[in-house]
Amino acid sequence: MTVYVDNPARLGESRLSDGRLLGWAEWGPLDGVPVLLCPGAATSRWLGFGAGVVEALGVRLVSVDRPGLGASTPAPGRTFSDFAGDIRQLCALRGLGHPAVVGNSQGAPFALACAEEGVASVLAVVSGADEVAAPEFASALAADLRGLVERTACDPVGAEEFFAGFTADAMWGMVMDGSPGCDLAVYQDPDFAAVYRRALDEGFVQGAAGYARDTVLSMGRWPFALDKITVPVEIWYGEQDTSHSPDNGALLATRMPGAHHRVVPGTGGALLWTHSELILTSLLAKATTDR
């Protein structure tokens, strides 16, 4: 039986310079190579990846609650740059140096912010939420998604209020309804489902404002100079992934010089859990740290 996730080895909160707390979870050896995870939409630090693999590869995996989610103090009006600043502080406080960074699903643009601002030494975007507001995608979006993108552009405050009405149950239902069978085999695995549901429940423990802010930031135009990102970048999508990017990251890869684009046959948006060893092995081959 495949084990996709396991419980964290360590849980904690670190106090930032402005007094806010940033919640984190860790797996693997304390002296391992730091790999920082920016988790997907509305999920807390509890949902890691690479069960058994992080230990075997000597990885210190760190998952972080974004502000307003899980154990992290809310920061209304925060930006991508604010998040990168938080992670820079966390790296100093936890002795992570310049870690490898993984951005999964809605965590992808937050990971890109870390790469652009020099926090990351190497970046993997895995089943990343793409910049759906990019003009190149205008004609490729489904009508309901296009409507949300337009609403976010025209009325970001109203859009944030709308997304603040979401719940953990609604998120679970949206994922189940929008996933191909290859992903459902992972998501509906009893052990995985229990951890995923716990991560969603914790993601909404302070309400939906944290998720709403993440979504407005992710669904709007990104402020990044992607062509200025100089660290090694790997972009991973499953061939059957229909929910994260209109073109499975092809355009995104062209916007970052030297980015390596991989599309994996026979899998979808659950790629982070089905191909953990491949992703981490490739990432470690490129990683540099200053621990």
Note the pLDDT tens digit of each residue in 77-88.
999 999 999 999
List all residues 6 or more positions away from 56 whose beta carbon is below 8 Å from its beta carbon.
none
Q: What is the pLDDT of residue 72?
A: 98
Give the DSSP letter of residue 279.
H
Tokens matching residue 219: 């669904």
What is the domain range of residue 244? 10-288
Residue 108 lies in a domain: yes
The enclosing domain of 113 has a CATH number of 3.40.50.1820
Helices (H) and strands (E) in the chain, counts: 12, 8
Domain count of the fold of the chain: 1
Provide the mean pLDDT of the chain: 96
Euclidean distance between CA atoms 48 and 62, whole angstroms: 8
Residue ranges of alpha helices (H) inside the chain are 53-57, 80-94, 108-116, 143-154, 156-163, 168-178, 181-187, 190-203, 209-219, 250-254, 271-274, 276-286
Residue 2 belongs to a domain: no
Instruction: Check residue 290 and give its pLDDT.
Output: 43
- Asked whether residue 207 is assigned to any structural domain, the reply reads yes
Residue 4 within a domain:
no
pLDDT value at residue 18: 97
**In whole angstroms, what is the distance from residue 134 CA to residue 169 CA?**
30
- Phi and psi dihedrals of 125, rounded to 5? -95, 115
pLDDT over 90 at 1, yes or no: no
DSSP 126: E
Percent of the chain residues topping a pLDDT of 70: 98
Q: Does residue 69 have a pLDDT over 90?
A: yes
Chain segment 180-205, per-residue pLDDT in tens: 999 999 999 999 999 999 999 999 99
pLDDT at 289 over 80: no
Could you tell me which residues are beta bridge partners of residue 100?
35, 122
Local confidence band at 291 (pLDDT 50, 70, 90 cut-offs): very low
Task: Express each pLDDT in 231-255 by its tens digit.
Answer: 999 999 999 999 999 999 999 999 9
242-245: long-range pairs with CB below 8 Å, 24+: 242/178, 242/180, 242/268, 243/178, 243/179, 243/269, 244/105, 244/127, 244/128, 244/129, 244/130, 244/269, 245/128, 245/129, 245/130
Does 60 reside within a domain?
yes
In a domain, 1, yes or no: no
What is the amino acid identity at position 88?
A: R
- Whole-angstrom distance, CA of residue 34 vs CA of residue 220: 30
Sequence length of the chain is: 291
Q: Is residue 228 part of a domain?
A: yes
Q: Give residue-wise pLDDT tens across range 207-216.
A: 999 999 999 9
The answer as to whether 58 is a domain residue is yes
CB 230 within 8 A of CB 259: no
Residue keyed to tokens 């759906």 = 132
Mean pLDDT of 91-99: 97
Contact, 63 vs 39, CB < 8 A? Answer: yes
